[in-house]
Each structure stands twice: as structure tokens, then as C-alpha cells.
Amino acid sequence: MRPDKRQAILRGALSVFARDGYSRASIDGIAKEAEVSTRTLYNHFADKADLFRHVIQTSANEAAQDQIHLIERHFHKITDLEQDLVEFGKAMGAQLGHAEHFALVRQINAELTHIPAEAIEAWLDTGPHKVRKALAGELEKLGFRDPKRAAIHLLVLTLTGDPAIRGSRPDDDDIAAGVKVFLHGHDVENRRTAAT
């Protein structure tokens, strides 16, 4: 069982599941996208549901890792908090541009009642919750009270374009405005600058 084939399958399945969702996606389509025969697909994964679970896990893991790197990079060289948070927001927004993963997140949200609770838990733990924990940790270091909620607030204020459409990207003005609201809303003791 060659691991390159397995990776190709996972990547192809991510594409197709993200675009079409679980039920609309067909095994044949995934196999074609991955340039693999359906038989090898079934050699690597027990069935469609099993493949879906692995795709979710893999994608969540990669995205979380990328985002955590972004967090570390941006929070280790804070000079002007507001300006740096805006930069951070823009960088996270650019991540959103890497659309496949977030389309998959939309599919997961739609399928919530059809995915076993334990798979959801696993996804949350290795994905979004891990990211939020990392962000909350950085905010705590900066002196934010209630860092867990602050992390959520920062994310929704800077990553939400049109709240009706998940994953719609805010423009730079939206991000700047969101950061401002966030900073005025969460008072910090050791804020270094409050300028602009």
C-alpha cells in the first residue's frame, strides 16, 4: 500500500468533498480526481464514510498547523498592538483564500447531524479548538483578561465578512474596524500603543 497513492486520494477527496459535499461526491469522481483506480481507493479506506473522516482529520490538521504558525509568527514581534493585529487579521484572511479547506468546513457544518459525534469531537480538537487555544495563549501573555473569549471575539470580528455566508472574506477596512472594536472592547493593562 503505497503512501503516495494514499496522499493523492486524500487530496483528490478533499477537492471533491469540499466542492460537492458528502452525498453528492462520488467515489468514481474522487478516484478520477486522484488519478487512481477505485479499487486502490478501497484498498486504503474501508468505505466512503471512512475516507470522509480521514479527509476531515487531515485537512483540519494541516489548516490548524498553518494557522498556528501564523499566530506564532505574528505575536512574537508585537510592537504596535493595533497595527500588528490588523496584519494578523489580513494574514488569516489570506488563509481563508486557500478555499478548499473552508469549503470542507461548510460541508461538515451541513452534515453535522450525519457525522458521528466522536468524529466531530476529534475534528474540533485537532482543528479549530487547537487554534483558538494557541491564540488565547498569546492573548493571555499580552495581558488580556478572559483570553478564551477574547480569542473568539478577535476571530469573529476580523474574519467575518458577510455573516450569512461562511468564509466570505472581509476587506481590509473591515479588518481594521474589527481590530479597533476588539481592542476597545477588551481592555488590556500593558497595551503599548493605542494610536492611529
Site mask for a copy of itself (CB under 8 A), range 91-130, x = bound: ------------x-xxx-xxxxxx---------x--xxx-
What's the start-to-end Cα distance of the chain, in Å? 58
Rounded to whole angstroms, how far apart are CA atoms 133 and 122?
Answer: 15
Interhelix angle for 48-75 vs 117-126, to 10°? 20
- Options 39, 79, 117, 195; binder of DNA; rule CB under 7 A: 39
Q: Tell me, what DSSP letter sits at residue 170?
A: P
Residue 35: all three cell numbers together: 488519478
Q: Give the span between the Cα atoms of 125 and 119, in whole angstroms.
A: 10
Q: Which range of residues in 24-32, 56-64, 67-75, 161-169 is near DNA by CB under 7 A? A: 24-32
Give, as ranges, the residues between 150 and 189 that touch a copy of itself (CB under 8 A). Answer: 152-153, 155-157, 160, 162-167, 174, 177-178, 180-187
Report helix, strand or coil for 144: strand
- C-alpha to C-alpha distance for 139 and 84, rounded to whole angstroms: 13
Nearer to a copy of itself, 31 or 150 (CB): 150
Is the CB of 36 or the CB of 154 nearer to a copy of itself? 154
For binding to a copy of itself (CB under 8 A), which residues are involved?
A: 19-24, 103, 105-107, 109-114, 124, 127-129, 146, 149, 152-153, 155-157, 160, 162-167, 174, 177-178, 180-187
